[in-house]
Amino acid sequence: MPPVEVEYTEHGRWGGRLTNRPLPDRDSEIDKLSAHDRDRLAKIWLTRAAMERRVADSFEVIHSALTRQRAATDIIELSYRAIDDEYRHAELSRVVASRFAGHELPPPERLVLETPKHTGASPDLRDTLFVVGQCVLNETTAGVYLETCLTHATGPLAVSALRELLSDEIDHGRIGWAHLASVSQDVRNDIARWMLPMAYLNLRIWKYETALDPNHTEALSKHGAPPAETIHDALANALASLIVPGLKQLGMSTASLEAWIEAGAGTDKPPVEFLGVS
């Protein structure tokens, strides 16, 4: 296989390095895995590589939206660096997948980014909704997802990779919270009306991309892939313990969102019965 052409650059967070700290050269725990579990873990991490690369495309949208909004310079710069961060995340996940596979794997097929339409929102509000949806919701919950994976991981390679990924996600969430804090209260009030449908869709996507697996094994958890049930519980809890308090701190109404969460944060159908709850 020819060398993989990487997209991250020397202008990124670590000056052209893939990680802040080198990944372990060897992980003896991988050698103890069955061929079946190694294959499953390679597929899981390669799927993550594809998802991370799609997030890079999403941050292209976020960077453009923040630029149009004339957001704070440091936030615009952070969103631009986030694109490179996600390039690194994609390559890091591919490298980890290759270690489980026992040979170099090519980059996965690119996933198509479907940008939310936010029908009925003005162009300015739509830009802010992009930022809130990706950073306040998705990046905050992504941090919780990685923390959950890290809590269950014991394999040195997985632990090292997850720590690298998590360190960046925290900054990416701050982009959304900082921008949300900078807009007027009237704009935040407009955004509040969108939070329930956006949270519902975000959680639904997470559940789809971390589907229940009746054949899950403890070996997968040890190498960064805990049971879907554990992930889903952590994500729902993040909405209640992180997202809702943050929105309240900014003076935003969260009654509808809280009512949906308290009812179980179901994603089997749109939460229309909670809209308008006050």
Q: How many CA atoms lie within 13 A of 21 on its CB side?
A: 11
Prediction pTM value: 0.93
Instruction: Indicate the burial class of 31 (C-beta count within 10 angstroms; 0-12, 13-18, 19 or more).
Output: exposed
Give the Cα separation of 206 and 242 in Å (integer): 17
CA-derived radius of gyration, the chain: 19
Let me know: does 118 contact 194? Beta carbons within 8 Å.
yes
Please name the residue that has the structure tokens 């519980």: 233
Q: What confidence score (pLDDT) does residue 170 get?
A: 86
pLDDT at 276: 80
Query: Closest Cα to residue 131, out of 175, 161, 184?
Result: 175
pLDDT at residue number 233: 96
Work out the angle at residue 215's Cα, subtended by the Cα atoms of residues 209 and 221, and round it to the nearest 5 degrees. Answer: 70
**Tokens matching residue 53:** 């690369």
Domains annotated for the chain, with CATH where assigned, are: 30-111+122-274 (1.20.1260.10)
Give start and end residues of each alpha helix (H) in 22-108. Answer: 28-31, 35-68, 73-101
pLDDT at residue 3 in the model: 66
Question: Per-10-residue mean pLDDT for the chain, 278 residues long?
Answer: 74 87 94 96 97 96 96 95 95 97 96 92 96 96 96 98 93 94 96 97 95 94 97 96 97 96 95 86
269's tokens: 């159908």
